[in-house]
Amino acid sequence: MFDIKQLSDVISATAIDGAEQQHNLEQVAGALGESVATIKNMAFRQKALLGVDAAEVRGRVEQVAEIVGVPYEKARRMCVIQPMLLTEPKRNAEALEYGLRIICHDLAAPKEEIVDLIIANPSILHGRQMRLSVADMAHLAMLREPKSRIVD
């Protein structure tokens, strides 16, 4: 039997469409400090990631960190959860920052706490769009204070 990590490694060991793409995946994996399997999964969801070189990746993560107002490591982890932050960092990071500002205001919570909740619960940021919805806000509220039902 395989566990998830082993299965992911087996899948990532299969060849990509070309040697150049495989090399690019390995470079991006090194730049983000993640496994090739993780980067391959990210590239599956966001094909434009294959066109970004390792030096650009670091710069884009720094740009996301600056716009969102979080440390580099948290920005890196958010970029791994949501590859759109790497393909269009300015627009998507601004959308994320705006959503975080609204959520922090509505939940009366510090940004650091909300960012930590998002990183600990990747499904919140894992969607296809960068907009944080009302459902995301309810999810964060429940994670933050798991007292009762959402409607209370």
- Each residue of 58-96: pLDDT tens digit? 999 999 999 999 999 999 999 988 888 998 999 999 988
Question: pLDDT-derived band of residue 6, with 50, 70 and 90 as boundaries?
Answer: low
59: CB partners within 8 A, 6+ apart: none
pLDDT higher for 24 or 45? 24
Q: How long a stretch of residues is the chain? A: 152
Closest CA to 111 of 68, 56, 51: 68
pLDDT (tens digit per residue) in 96-138: 898 889 888 888 889 999 899 888 888 777 665 666 677 777 7
Identity of residue 144: R
pTM of the complete model: 0.75
Cα–Cα distances (Å) from 85 to 45, 66, 102, 118, in that order, read 12, 12, 19, 14
How far lies 135's CA from each of 89, 99, 151, in Å?
Answer: 24, 12, 12
Of the ranges 8-12, 16-20, 90-94, 145-149, the best mean pLDDT one: 90-94
Closest CA to 91 of 63, 56, 110, 72: 63
